[in-house]
Amino acid sequence: MKRIQNDVKSERDKKIRDLVVGYTDIEKIKSKGPVYMQAMNRLTEWNGEYDVQSTGATIYTSMLYHILKLAMEDELGEDQFKKTVNSVTLRSSIETLFFNEDSPWWDNINTEEKESRNQLFREGLQLAMDDLSENIGESPDNWHWGKLHTLTHVHPVGRQEPFDKVFNVGPFAKSGGNEVVDKENFLYSGHGPYNIRSGPAMRLLLDFARPEEALSVIPTGQSGNVMSRHYDDQAVLFVQGKYKVQEMDKSKLPTDRILHLKPGL
């Protein structure tokens, strides 16, 4: 169950990657230089996992965005496309669109010639590599998913500097993505940053036959007091996919601290 809750692999995205790469002249892209050769190798070798060390996940996400932009921005316009590309409706329809070669979305309405799906596949992949090379760095070894996909727990007070340094928890490089079990939601763009906007509020594993062995973890900590040691003492565990025992035996609880409750004046 731990592996299931922390699963970051998308079989759907592997299928889409295979489809796009299958209609791409791989050797032609590699011939553009070592950066493109490395990037193409990372993409074709990608196992579909949105792990913090993955570069294939970064290339795929950028490629997906650029293909969708080529397909839809001519009809929708820039502002409406930005809204649509991150809508639940489109996200649930991406696979259907990509496997429909005859969809009218593939044609650019602003040109006389009729563009094809496979043409946009090739152009989108090329644009993704150009985008990442220009904005993240020329070495694909630096295009790690965790560099762009980060988690910061923002406190209401921490929305302004310098309070963010005190009240916010993070940022952390975080595995996960939009279409995996460990759903760490982000907005699509060409090169990020893919800041996490929502995700699991708790992970809990409970065997009712052995409740004393229950495991859990929450994104930050149990205390809302920024000065408390429990304000953020579960944050690293959560990011690393680890758990703590949910202690049920009163005799095992620490007794070295006393809380005094005094009535207000």
How does DSSP classify residue 92? T
In whole angstroms, what is the distance from residue 97 CA to residue 102 CA? Answer: 9
Question: Is 227 domain-assigned?
Answer: no
Domain containing 77 — which CATH number?
Answer: 1.10.1400
Per-residue pLDDT for 108 more than 70? yes
> Do residues 202 and 244 make contact, with C-beta atoms less than 8 angstroms apart?
no
In contact, 232 and 220? CB cutoff 8 Å: yes
DSSP string, 115-130: P-HHHHHHHHHHHHHH
- Statement: residue 204 has pLDDT above 70: yes
- pTM for this prediction: 0.91
Give dist(CA 146, CA 115) in Å, integer: 35
Domain count, the chain: 1
Between CA 101 and CA 90 the distance in angstroms is 17
Interhelix angle 117-135/11-22, rounded to 10 degrees, is 110
User: What is the rounded distance in angstroms from the CA atom of residue 187 to the CA atom of residue 52?
Assistant: 17
SS3 state of residue 245: strand
Angle, to 10 degrees, between the axis of helix 11-22 and the axis of helix 56-76?
Answer: 70
H runs (alpha helix) in 8-55: 11-22, 26-30, 34-45
- Identify the burial level of 202 via C-beta atoms within 10 angstroms of its C-beta, where 0-12 means exposed, 13-18 middle and 19 or more buried: exposed
Instruction: Report if residue 134 sits inside a domain.
Output: yes
Q: Write the pLDDT tens digit of every residue in 120-169.
A: 999 999 999 999 999 999 899 999 999 999 999 999 999 999 999 999 99
Give the residue among 175, 160, 149, 145 at the shortest CA–CA distance from 241: 175
Kindly tell me the burial class for residue 219, based on how many C-beta atoms sit within 10 Å of its own C-beta (0-12, 13-18, 19 or more). buried
Question: Distances in Å between the alpha carbon of 117 and those of 34, 78, 97, 181?
Answer: 27, 20, 10, 29
Is position 94 within any domain?
A: yes
Q: What is the pLDDT of residue 149?
A: 98
Q: Judge whether 56 and 18 are in contact, CB under 8 Å.
A: no
Q: Is residue 85 part of a domain?
A: yes
259 pLDDT above the threshold of 90: no
In a domain, 191, yes or no: no
Average pLDDT rounded to a whole number, residues 25-53: 93
Yes or no: say if 118 and 107 are a contact pair by the CB < 8 Å rule. no
Exposed, middle or buried: residue 105 (CB in 10 Å: 0-12, 13-18, 19+)? middle
Which residue did the predictor score with more confidence, 250 or 1?
1
Task: Grade residue 211 by pLDDT with cuts at 50, 70 and 90.
Answer: confident
Question: From CA 84, how far away is CA 93, in angstroms rounded?
Answer: 11
20 within 8 A of 101, measured Cβ to Cβ: no
The answer to whether residue 219 is domain-embedded is no
Domain that holds residue 9: 2-145
Q: How many C-beta atoms surround the C-beta of residue 161 within 10 A?
A: 7
Inside any domain, residue 220: no
Q: Is residue 172 part of a domain?
A: no
What token pair was written down for 105?
A: 């979305």
